[in-house]
Amino acid sequence: CDYVSIGDMVSGLTSSRTGITYGLKEHHQKGWQIKIGRYPANTRKLVCIDEIQYIKPRDVRTLGKAMDEGFITIDRITEKSLESMTRLIALANPKEDSVMDELMFGCEGFRDLFDKAIIRRFDLALCLSHSDIKTNELNIENIEIKSEKIPPKMLRDLIFWIWTRPSKSIGIGKKTTQAILEEAIKLSEKFGFALDVPLVAPGDFANKLARLSTAYAALCVSTDEAFKKIIVKPEHVEFVAGLVGYIYSGEAFGLKEYS
């Protein structure tokens, strides 16, 4: 968010549901009014929620429903629907102030944090443990992130361009479709038996793989000559499938063994 100045950062530790989704406030003249939270306020943009484990379970379920349906329905004292086509990055620690290294399998942390329906809605997940960061990298001064290959403005412009592409501007041919289906089967056979951590649910993982492959193709600027259509190729699918397999098979995640 900071590097490209896109989206909104929210703390689950300090935000109530009013700060995340919505709230109701009674006005002595206008009656009940809706206070729009940060999630629907950033519709068609990006929200990153840090320490999401501190948000109440019912509020997380509200977020999950919004992720699934693209809007938040308010049917309490007043009725209203808020468009919530918001991209979500959720950061969390294990519950009860435990650490990842205490878990036999890192993926168990997701099981303890979210309902299965919520887990299933995440396109990609990542676990980090104490051993993933070297001791000499913990105590260093803050440095500005720089990239000679991709300056912030260039990446920001690319992201905004990607976000404005309609579905008809995404090209997925027969070979790419076949690659998606084949890789989805392989990954489902590896990770799909973790029923309480359904990140790779056989019933819909092909759709996740298609979305992730499209995102990667867009970052690679795989387009037509007019730069209007994103072209997803089999090599994009193979790369993403390899990345998913690498992450979920990792020692910190342990989804393969857990499955």
The pLDDT > 70 percentage for the chain reads 95
Residue 238 · residue 220 · CB < 8 Å: no
* Residue count of the chain: 259
pLDDT of residue 170: 97
Yes or no: is domain 8-137 CATH 3.40.50.300?
Answer: yes
Q: Residue 192: which of 115, 128, 107 has the closest Cα? A: 107
Q: Stretch 171-186: mean pLDDT, rounded? A: 98
pLDDT the model gives residue 1: 65
What span, in angstroms and rounded, lies between the C-alpha atoms of 208 and 191? 14
The whole-number pLDDT of residue 14 equals 81
Phi/psi of residue 10, nearest 5 degrees: -125, 140
Asked whether residue 17 carries a pLDDT value surpassing 60, the answer given is no
What would the pLDDT profile of 187-243 be if each residue is shown by its tens digit? 999 999 999 999 999 999 999 999 999 999 999 999 999 999 999 999 999 999 999
Q: Which of 61-65, 70-74, 223-227 has the highest mean pLDDT?
A: 223-227
Does the CA dihedral 252-182-159-81 come out positive or negative?
negative
pLDDT grade for 129, boundaries at 50, 70 and 90: confident
Q: Where in the chain is the domain with CATH 3.40.50.300?
A: 8-137
Could you say which DSSP state residue 211 is in?
A: H
Least confident piece of the model among 56-60, 105-109, 190-194: 56-60
Q: How many CA atoms lie within 13 A of 211 on its CB side?
A: 11
d(CA 213, CA 231): 10
Cα angle, residue 156 at apex, residues 245 and 230 outer, rounded to 5°:
60
Rounded to a whole number, what is the largest CA-CA distance in the chain?
Answer: 62
Supply the pLDDT for residue 147.
63
Task: Tokens 């392989």: give the residue.
Answer: 186
Residue 69 CB partners (closer than 8 Å, separation 6+) = none
**DSSP run (H or E) holding 72:** strand 71-75
